[in-house]
Chains A and B, each alone.
Chain A
Amino acid sequence: KNQVEQSPQSLIILEGKNCTLQCNYTVSPFSNLRWYKQDTGRGPVSLTIMTFSENTKSNGRYTATLDADTKQSSLHITASQLSDSASYICVVSPGSNYKLTFGKGTLLTVNP
């Protein structure tokens, strides 16, 4: 069964600090891995999409990495801001948007 496991479940950090969120997957076949940010009460918003051949991709202070050999990805947030408080969801695609596997998300809280 295809699975996406995210860790930690939740994380609290101080404003200005960096953090790294983890995603391990067992999805086959694999086409791309996506990270979404979901603010409370809102729909998810895309941060990055990485294909098999991409090791890293950045979107402002967000940097995602992918190791397709070990089936692991991470999302690194630099110099966190209060607005980074959200749930971060890892999603793996086999090539079709109708067969996406979603992780349960990591809830990040950034405190002043």
Chain B
Amino acid sequence: IAGITQAPTSQILAAGRRMTLRCTQDMRHNAMYWYRQDLGLGLRLIHYSNTAGTTGKGEVPDGYSVSRANTDDFPLTLASAVPSQTSVYFCASSPTGTNEKLFFGSGTQLSVL
């Protein structure tokens, strides 16, 4: 049982470079999410997708973009990375966008230098 798979596990990136974080789920969940987790802060929503073909902005969307071409994949792209994007990124999913629990991936540790 895979659940949610994120790749890479960790990455060191030079500022200004483009980076795509990958997220794949095998639970056929309609809703998917990207969060960032920083020391001393709660998880913050970057972008979400209610269903394939639709996306929405979360609390901290600037500098990030997402796409949802199919149910299983939800990549997160940093077009031009900046040091403030150094963080741990978690992808999550739920059957719908309402009151079910979220299932999280294991995270991607990203360092932008």
The segment out of A14-22, A61-69, A101-109 that lies at the interface is A101-109
Which residues of B are at the interface with A, using a C-beta cutoff of 8 A? 4, 31, 33, 40-45, 48, 50, 56, 58, 90, 92, 94, 96-107
Known A104-B40, A104-B41, A104-B42; judge A98-B107 contact (CB<8 A). no
In contact, A97 and B42 (Cβ under 8 angstroms): no
Chain B neighbourhood of A46, CB < 8 A:
101-103
Q: Which residue of A lies closest to B90 (CB)?
A: A43
A105 near B42: Cβ-Cβ < 8 Å: yes
> Is chain B's binding surface mostly helix, strand, loop or mixed?
loop
> Shortest Cβ distance from A66 into chain B, in angstroms?
14
Determine the distance from Cα of A37 to Cα of B78 in the docked complex, in whole angstroms. 28
Chain A contact residues, majority secondary structure: loop
Give chain A's interface residues, CB within 8 Å of chain B: 4, 31-32, 34, 41-46, 49, 51, 89, 93, 95-98, 100-105
* Nearest-CB residue, chain A, relative to B42: A102
Which of A43, A100, A104 is within 8 Å of B106, CB to CB? A43
Task: Give the CA-CA distance A52 to B58 in the complex, in Å.
Answer: 25
